Structure 1
């Protein structure tokens, strides 16, 4: 589980921003049994989910984008780039002092009963610094600290990392962690394994994970679970089946290269291509009696919300079954507010989420604030000042006399009590401005 994630000088975040999933004592008697996972070894109370609010362009998506960048860079820096290749990182560009400074990332998490703290600073050209600490018992131990091309390593617990350094195998634009994992350093492999289990997806474009869900339906057990979620969402879907591509029905205007590729893979590799997902609905007679089933095309007949929820079922079930962390940008897009509430409740449930999977997402759906699903320390905001600098803060950061436990969070947020809403004063004068332009014609 994630304890804390922080970034600095990345995208819209000039100063350090820290997202903590360590539960505060401030809310200790609020949803303690549902929303909290207790780690006995380290004596930690950890939050199962966190929601982020803010105005458009305030940094909500950029914060979650930072999760995606860190994950991708950790998993690929040693094998998908060459010496001299640029690192795909973007510092805060609206200030001359930071645009050429490094961007910083750090994450603290627990995996296999060990607490890890890992981070790095990078520019577009190279790794400036990198560090890895772990806590197998009660004391945090430094495994390595890197500053440019100078490395300090633990003499006993990071020996393979020391070897790759000595052999000059760590490029300026690659992470020592990633290289050490390639050479079978056990601790580095554990850290990379955890990053594999950190899932980041877009709620605006489900095409990136719909195929994953489709593949899950070919297993009867997983298909049954996906159907249970679809039925629970009250979408009217009774069954789902994959429609395999028929060679004889390939579109006539399909480019020849693509057609040849499909035919070759189908013949030589026995590959199967899916042309659609068919959803089964009940058909009724005039008296309301079920008389038959009708198949709909997921692409042509179902709503955009149904298509998105179908795609989401695969990642959600995968994360919950394995105790992973799911980060979703714009979870509420295309989905009914009540359905988003049910997804959050799924992660809160002790029975349905026994391995304490975590959900981190941003949203504009203020209904969630009045649904009683969150503690104050789970509600976060991004706000941007006149210099374009975003900041991140929690409702739990407010003093107890400023924000009370049972106050109407949704109403107070909308009226601006917590900040993180757009300033729309221009709209108040818009009618006058437009009338002035009309008179000038």
Structure 2
């Protein structure tokens, strides 16, 4: 499971920002899972985090940064070349940022309960630093530490890592040692690499929808159990759908028709083209949701509510929150605009204060990320009402009618300039 993610100098994330799944102060939380660690202790960890904020406040950049880190780990050895430099996407509003490193770090726990910390700092032409720590008995073990400014760039304290000399000799200055090691199937470091390979899967509901529709259709054909789960998720969203039909066309593509029923009449299969955009978006999301739940992966969904009704979005959150459904410790990070996701219809909270993160931009245009738990809301406080009132920040600083007045002022100014000419 992912515990923490830290990042700096990526897009609008100028200074170091941290996103944490760990329950604040290890307090009691009905939403948290008790994660067993290798030292015998347990750590309360959230299965879901939601990131809210005004437009252009940097919500999506948190997801993007996680994707950038994953891509760097998976492809630095094969894709980064000396003549093109290292892709960084640094903060653009400060000229000094180009000369500073881009920083990434994650804390995570693998299936054996061992906690790991892995991170690196990138310059334009070389990896400035890279580190890997393990905590098998609760105390930090340094597996390797890399610093490009030292005469001896690579250090392997404790001689824990096999093939140290070869790794140090063959890792290019512009590639990550972890990628280099996994490229040769290093027995100790490849499992850390594999954590990135099997996690941080991203979904943007408004893009790549045909591919995800095809994947959900494939799940319908896999087995009777897989079909049952997909159809149940279609029914639970209250779409009037009683089932689904799927077959292969002559080109091998899946053709889906959903069966609709109403008024006691026999269910009627409808052509895919007549289904609503919301229905198709939910269908396309079901496949990735089930894949994450089946494998215990971390799923990233940018703008969960962009093409989904708030009820659909809330159901996606509940899938990860419910321990009887999410049996393998899968996690969800999503961004959204819709404040109704902060409240369930019958009253109460869909997300706890520690699960609700907000983004704001400062006067420099840099994003600040913080949890609502920092504001210490009371247990009875309605988070949606407080959020909309600006009690926690993270909402647009705009008064009612302000946009209309701005347009009127612009039109008036343009008319005056025309008359003067």
The alignment's TM-score, normalised by the length of structure 2, stands at 0.89
Residue of structure 1 in register with 2:384 after alignment: 410
Counterpart of 2:396 (choices 419, 422, 425) is 422
Task: State the alpha-carbon separation in 2 of the partners of residues 353 and 290 from structure 1.
Answer: 35
Deviation of residue 110 (structure 1)? 0.1
* CA offset digits 1:117-148 (Å, max 9, x no partner): 00011133221111111112222111111112
Q: Deviations over 1:300-347 (max 9, x none)?
A: 111111111111111111111221111111111111112211211111
**Per-residue deviation at 1:359?**
0.8
Deviation of the 1:385 alpha carbon: 1.4
Q: Which residue number corresponds to residue 173 of structure 1?
A: 174
Partner of residue 380 from structure 1, selected from 345, 357, 363: 357
Contact 2:242 2:267 survives alignment (8 Å): no
What does residue 290 of structure 1 align with?
Answer: 265
Residue matched to 1:263: none
Asked whether the 8 Å contact 2:7–2:104 carries over to 1, the reply is yes
Q: Where do 5+ consecutive residues of structure 1 fail to align?
A: 247-271
Q: Do the aligned partners of residues 184 and 432 (structure 1) sit closer, same or farther apart at CA in structure 2, a change above 3 Å counting?
A: closer
In 2, distance between residues paired with 1:212 and 1:366? 30
- Residues 345 and 37 (structure 1 numbering): CA distance in 2 closer, same or farther, change over 3 Å? farther
Structure 2 counterpart SS, 1:234? coil
User: What is the aligned partner in structure 2 of residue 222 from structure 1?
Assistant: 226
- Asked if the contact 2:52–2:358 (Cα under 8 Å) also holds between the matched residues in 1, the reply is yes
Cα pair 1:85 1:173 within 8 Å, conserved: no
SS of corresponding position for 1:330: coil
Give secondary structure in 2 for the equivalent of 1:34. coil
Determine whether 1:87 maps to 2:86.
yes
- 1:35 matched to 2:32? The reply is yes
Is the alpha carbon distance of 1:98 and 1:435 closer, same or farther for their aligned partners in structure 2, counting shifts above 3 Å? closer
Relative to 1, partners in 2 of residues 1:420 and 1:94: Cα closer, same or farther, differing over 3 Å? same
Question: Per-residue displacement from partner, 1:180-219 (whole Å, max 9, x unpaired)?
Answer: 1122222321112111221222123143533332322220
Q: Which runs of 5+ in 2 are unaligned?
A: none
Say if 2:187 is the partner of 1:163: no
Alpha-carbon displacement from aligned partner over 1:256-291 (angstroms, at most 9, x marks no partner): xxxxxxxxxxxxxxxx53164222223x6xxx4424
1:14 deviates by 0.7
**2:415, 2:74 → 1: CA distance?**
60
Instruction: Give per-residue Cα distances to partners, 1:9-32, cap 9 Å, x unaligned.
Output: 110011000011110248x34xx2
Give the TM-score normalised by structure 1: 0.85
- Contact 1:55–1:420 at 8 Å: present in 2 too? yes
Please state how far the C-alpha of 1:292 moved relative to its aligned partner. Answer: 5.3
Distance 1:218 1:340 in 2: 25
1:56 corresponds in structure 2 to 55
- Asked if 1:133 corresponds to 2:106, the answer is no
Q: Which residue of 2 aligns with 1:325?
A: 298
Task: Say whether residues 1:303 and 2:276 are aligned partners.
Answer: yes
The question of whether the paired residues in 1 share the 8 Å contact of 2:82 and 2:125 is answered with no
Alpha-carbon separation, structure 2, partners of 1:173 and 1:277: 46
Count of residues paired in the alignment: 402
Counterpart in the other structure of 1:258: none
